[in-house]
Amino acid sequence: MAKVNQNYLQLQGSYLFSEIAKRRTKFISENPQADIISLGIGDVTRPLPDAVIASLHAAVEDMTDTKTFKGYGPEQGYDFLLQQIVEHDYAARGINIQTDEVFVSDGSKCDVSNIQEIFSNDTIIAVTDPVYPVYVDSNVMAGRSGNYSKLTNRYENIVYLPCNSDNKFIPSLPDRKVDLIYLCYPNNPTGMTLSKDELKKWVDFAKANKCIILYDSAYEAYIQEDDVPRSIYEIEGAREVAIEFRSLSKTAGFTGVRCAYTVVPKEVKAYDEQGNEITLRDLWNRRQTTKFNGVSYITQKGAAAIYSDAGKEQISKLVQYYMNNAKIIREGISSLGFEVYGGVNAPYIWLKTPEGFGSWEFFDKLLQTANIVGTPGVGFGQSGEGYFRLTAFGSLENTERAIERIRNIKF
Ligand SMILES: *Cc1c(COP(=O)(O)O)cnc(C)c1O
């Protein structure tokens, strides 16, 4: 008799996006003429940069000739891409990362959810609340979460670090023993950041307590302000305690093409049962070479093009396009008297819902009176209750129209 992995039965249904879809469908069926604008999506909408397109085409041509054809490549990524990553994303900022510490993959979602495999089953994880749900669910699947409490809307063995307007969305250091800490900055969903001094506290904490920080930097390209670290390795000591995840998804429009990378410096160590130090870079290498067969040559050629002069300029334009939307939303919404966060170094705007509106009541109000779909903050965790996420990934035209409509709502 085949039995299922019982841990999967601990997962809470992907309630958030199915509930949004359900309410949207119901509204459309009752109001078939409604012109709905979505500011809820976490996906890019602009086409790939020209430099990437040209490089993808050239790579396809390579596949037509025996002399340039590529079969299986190195599981860790082609050297031509690793070199570019190390040079432009790290060395150019004075950060020492070697090519054999970088692992190219088909997305950060897989990397941030697979990384927990190399840690023991009794690892205690800490996450911010609200949180990108993948960090939690991948640990639920592995059996680390304990039971889910419908009373608190939390798993009993996970340490949650609340982020709200009281602490300016800066989580406090854990007051309990933890082993793995997931941090995502610039943050999805709040759009907030940590300064270098704040991030330094986490690196120091991790060193003092022998923890590892899993640093998701998917929105690094959106950083506009100087004091915001673009990589955790800008912080002294981070090479000993941090694994960093970067993705081309939001940086260069690769959500459909799929390319990301993970950095595991050789100094990052964890312990075996006997207390011996084990180099995590080697474990991750073993994991990837066993379970992953590399990102396609064509994709990696396309990815390398973002580091050319033309590519850099084009992706910067792409980011500016979305950040202009973010500014329109942030300024538009705050001029209406809303308490607004994020949208300065990230494509997400996190607003406090008006008095008397929970996250879902605000969702319904926005849908019914302005025909706008956003994302209820409570869907990202209990501390998101009373907040709402709008995204800057739409078109300029729809963003402007959406703000005009919100202006006309009477609360
Ligand atoms: C979009 C996003 C990613 C990127 O995921 P990919 O699998 O690389 O597309 C990673 N982390 C967060 C928090 C995100 O929002």
Domain of residue 98, CATH code: 3.40.640.10
253 & 227 share domain:
yes
The pLDDT tens digits of the residues spanning 131-152 come to 999 999 999 999 999 999 999 9
Q: Which atom of ligand 1 is nearest to the CA of 250?
A: 1
9 inside domain: no
Q: Average per-residue pLDDT in the chain?
A: 97
Domain range for 365? 14-43+310-407
Q: How far is the CA of 255 from the centre of ligand 1 (A)?
A: 8
87 & 230 share domain:
yes
204 & 301 share domain:
yes
Place of tokens 């050629």: 301
Q: How far is the CA of 376 from the centre of ligand 1 (A)?
A: 19
170 & 238 share domain:
yes
The pLDDT tens digits of the residues spanning 39-78 come to 998 899 999 999 999 999 999 999 999 999 999 999 999 9
Pocket of ligand 1 (CB under 6 A): 42, 107-109, 132, 184, 188, 216, 218, 247, 249-250, 255, 260
57 & 114 share domain:
yes
48 inside domain: no
39 & 62 share domain:
no
Domain count within the chain: 2
Query: What's the pTM value of the predicted model, to 2 decimals?
Result: 0.97
Is pLDDT of 299 > 80?
yes
59 inside domain: yes
286 & 369 share domain:
no
Residue minimizing CA distance to atom 11 of ligand 1: 218
SS3 sequence, the chain? CCCCCHHHHHCCCCHHHHHHHHHHHHHHHHCCCCCCEECCCCCCCCCCCHHHHHHHHHHHHHCCCCCCCCCCCCCCCCHHHHHHHHHHHHHHHCCCCCHHHEEEECCHHHHHHHHHHHCCCCCCEEEEECCCHHHHHHHHHCCCCCCEECCCCEECCCEEEECCHHHCCCCCCCCCCCCEEEEECCCCCCCCCCCHHHHHHHHHHHHHHCCEEEEECCCHHHCCCCCCCCCHHHCCCHHHHEEEEEEHHHHHCCCCCCCEEEECCCCCEEECCCCCEEEHHHHHHHHHHHHCCCCCHHHHHHHHHHHCHHHHHHHHHHHHHHHHHHHHHHHHHHHCCCCEEECCCCCEEEEECCCCCCHHHHHHHHHHHHCEECEEHHHHCHHHCCEEEEECCCCHHHHHHHHHHHHCCCC
124 & 69 share domain:
yes
Taking the C-alpha atoms of residue 22 and residue 30, their distance in angstroms, rounded to an integer, is 13
5 inside domain: no
194 & 277 share domain:
yes
Is pLDDT of 411 > 90?
no
Which of 150, 38, 17, 105 shows the shortest CA–CA distance to 393? 38
Is pLDDT of 395 > 90?
yes
Substitution site in 111, 249, 257, 380 for ligand 1 pocket (most atoms within 8 Å of beta carbon): 249
What local confidence, expressed as pLDDT, does residue 345 receive? Answer: 98
394 inside domain: yes
383 & 298 share domain:
no
Q: Which atom of ligand 1 is nearest to the CA of 110?
A: 7
Domain of residue 39, CATH code: 3.90.1150.10
The pLDDT tens digits of the residues spanning 179-217 come to 999 999 999 999 999 999 999 999 999 999 999 999 999
104 & 124 share domain:
yes
7 inside domain: no
Answer with the one of 251, 286, 307 that is the final residue of a domain: 307
325 inside domain: yes
Answer with the one of 307, 336, 356 that is the final residue of a domain: 307
- 186 preceded by a cis bond (ω within 30 of 0): yes
84 & 29 share domain:
no
Q: Which atom of ligand 1 is nearest to the CA of 255?
A: 9
Q: Which atom of ligand 1 is nearest to the CA of 216?
A: 11
Answer with the one of 307, 328, 347 that is the final residue of a domain: 307
Q: How far is the CA of 2 from the centre of ligand 1 (A)?
A: 34
